[in-house]
Amino acid sequence: MQQDIDKAKGLPESFDEYTTSNKLLLIEQTEGMICYQLKDDKVLRRKLTDNQQSNAGERRVWSVPHAKVEWQVWRKDRGGYAVEVKTHIKHNVQGHWEKKMANSHLYFVGAF
């Protein structure tokens, strides 16, 4: 995700039928749109081009069981300039869930 954001031209609010939310992140690049989606304990990354989802060869899936991933796009004048990503692992201790290994990272658009 960091590499995609480093090469980003922007962080649009929407693209075709996709809208940025706490479960979906859109990253505009020169080659097309990158979409990250949180779904069923997985993070899906796919490339969207010409307002269509690309073939399965452009898709990556990471399994993140017991993990919580949240992102928030930082915007100024409707333009996204950074993404804050918060993560932690949910660990069951004596019948209740605790947060472990909590992290927060801030990635700026076009850093490189």
| pTM for the whole structure | 0.83
CA–CA dist 65, 71 (Å, integer): 17
Residue 33 makes CB contacts below 8 A (sequence gap 6+) with 12, 15, 26, 27, 47, 48, 49
Return the structure tokens found at 8: 């980003």
pLDDT at 72: 93
- Quick one: what percent of the chain has pLDDT higher than 90? 56
As a whole number, mean pLDDT of residues 56-79 equals 85
Burial of 36 from C-beta contacts in 10 A (0-12 / 13-18 / 19+):
buried
Residue 48 near residue 59 (C-beta atoms within 8 A):
no
CA–CA dist 85, 105 (Å, integer): 5
- pLDDT exceeds cutoff 80 at 78: no
Q: For all residues of the chain together, what is the average pLDDT?
A: 87
pLDDT at 55: 53
Q: What 3-state DSSP class applies to 41?
A: coil
Return the structure tokens found at 102: 């909590």
